[in-house]
Amino acid sequence: MNKAATFLVLLAISTGPGLFAQTAADHLKAGDELYARFDDAGALAEYEKAAGLDPSRFEALWKTARGYMNLGDRIDYGQKDHEEKQQKLYKAGEPFLRKALSVNPQDSFVHFLNAALLGRLARVKSRKQQVALAYTIKAEIDKALELDSGNDMA
């Protein structure tokens, strides 16, 4: 074995698995690339890894929540239990979104995203619960517009 190859082997052994470990930023970048190619499941997996590595990273949190919403929105309505599957995905995104709101309560887009998620969750609630949620949804939209009147989504 030549000296260069020996050096590389020793370097890899001495640094262990950390040599090839990905950071939260690496996973976010990979997720963004997958999201741009409309691979929502792949993007969500990368965003979840980023959130796992850095649980208070705002970008990882809201993108994970958005990923769950996107997957829920893409459930085929022809499936027998589509509504149950959707709600499961929406509920899985909820803690990530709550954490994102606690990390950065001044982000207009996250308030909009929260309103959108609440609206999706409201679809299976009773009429009384839907009315109660409507007030919260409106408050979230109002907050999003207060923070950024140019937020086209809100």
In tens, the pLDDT along 78-128 reads 888 999 999 999 999 999 999 999 999 999 999 999 999 999 999 999 999
Least confident span in 14-18, 63-67, 141-145: 14-18
| Closest alpha carbon to 71 in 56, 54, 98, 92 | 92
How large is the average pLDDT for residues 9-37?
76
Instruction: Provide the pLDDT for residue 67.
Output: 97
Tokens of 31: 């997720």
Q: What is the amino acid identity at position 25?
A: A
Instruction: Provide the pLDDT for residue 1.
Output: 57
Say if CB 40 and CB 13 are below 8 A apart. no
Place of tokens 């140019």: 150
Instruction: Provide the pLDDT for residue 4.
Output: 62
Instruction: Provide the pLDDT for residue 93.
Output: 97
- Rounded distance between C-alpha atoms, residue 125 and residue 20, angstroms: 46
In tens, the pLDDT along 25-69 reads 999 999 999 999 999 999 999 999 999 999 999 999 999 999 999
The pTM score is 0.83
Per DSSP, the three-state class of 104 is coil
Could you report how far apart the first and last alpha carbons of the chain are, in Å?
A: 63
Residue 19 pLDDT level (bands cut at 50, 70, 90)? very low
- Rounded distance between C-alpha atoms, residue 67 and residue 139, angstroms: 23
- Rounded distance between C-alpha atoms, residue 40 and residue 26, angstroms: 17
